[in-house]
Structure 1
């Protein structure tokens, strides 16, 4: 009886890895060309009182059930790049597209002194190189898919909104 769930998990893992590697998913066409066009004030996306472990566990279960990649967005409300990322992902075209391809959970890491057990669980044990730090996780195996690109969006304000969408598309399935 355990073979069916194991085969299903292997199939999901293969499809998630193939999706991340092939980048066959077309990113949405972002409606803005500059972050100055974002609605202000920018959001404060991180709930500082949240129970991070429980939130991640629930999001992982939803991602696994829906066959989506789990994005764990590590950051802090003090971080301009984090707020720009959140506002960009909140654009209608991005919000719909992200919801179709990913399960997103935000985790407040304070000033790099809070909830660090979350990245440590995925092998990120040294100080985060910056935030936002996105962990792209295969929910079937609970494995980090982007060990070398966790901090790719830590300088989000110097990317174009479309470049941000294009980066996310490389992980979509």
Structure 2
């Protein structure tokens, strides 16, 4: 008798934790959009190289978002990037690349050579955000791996950081 009750309560809690409303994740105290763009690329390094080449001709920076669809912080950041406010910033100032890194913090990571190429030796969690010049210089070495709390950051804080790292003079 107790086991079915416990199972029912657990199922109910799972449903509450996964509830969404109009494309937004329902979490106490948090309201953010959510997206799952971290597809497994056949060659993530080539995707980054293509973005660097585009950035060289467009006077933009490259925004490499390294995450995974299992990660709510990765999905939250991707959701913000898909909103009109962020999409306008990205369109004007960045070449955006999503890189699926699996679960590097448990030893089951992939595409980690992308981060290592730009001087990020370890990904302690997801997401990580690399902002690169068109020449491949990492501009945010001090904050690249600090995005693991993206779901709890405010929209304005995320926007301010990405704006501060964007090339100046572009609107």
TM-score with structure 2 setting the length: 0.74
Greater fraction of residues in strand: 2
For these two proteins, the number of residue pairs brought into alignment is: 135
Structure with max Cα Rg? 2
Runs of 4 or more above 4 Å deviation: none
Q: TM-score scaled to structure 1, two decimals?
A: 0.73
Structure 2 residue aligned with 1:156: 150
Tell whether 2:92 aligns with 1:100. Answer: yes
| Separation in 2, partners of 1:155, 1:165 | 15
The offset of 1:152, in angstroms, is: 2.8
**C-alpha contact (below 8 Å) 2:39/2:100 kept by paired residues:** yes
SS in 1 for 2:124: coil
The CA RMSD measured in Å over matched residues stands at 1.5
Asked if the contact 2:32/2:151 (under 8 Å) is kept, the reply is no
Query: What residue is the counterpart of 1:74 in the other structure?
Result: 66
| Secondary structure of 2:73 counterpart | helix
SS of residue in 1 equivalent to 2:147: coil
CA distance in 2, matches of 1:49, 1:70: 17
After superposition, residues 71-150 of structure 1 pair within 5 angstroms as 71-112=63-104, 113-125=109-121, 127-140=122-135, 142-150=136-144
Q: Secondary structure, in 3 states, of the residue corresponding to 1:146?
A: coil
Q: Does the CA contact (< 8 Å) of 1:75 and 1:82 recur in 2? A: yes
- Unaligned runs of at least 5 residues, structure 2: 1-28
Helix, strand or coil at the partner of 1:72: strand
| In the alignment, structure 1 residue 43 sits paired with structure 2 residue 43 | no
> Which one scores higher on RCO, CA 8 angstroms, separation ≥ 6?
1
- Does residue 170 (structure 1) correspond to residue 164 (structure 2)? The answer is yes
Question: Does the CA contact (< 8 Å) of 1:35 and 1:84 recur in 2?
Answer: no
Q: Mind listing any 5+ residue stretches in structure 1 that lack a counterpart?
A: 1-33
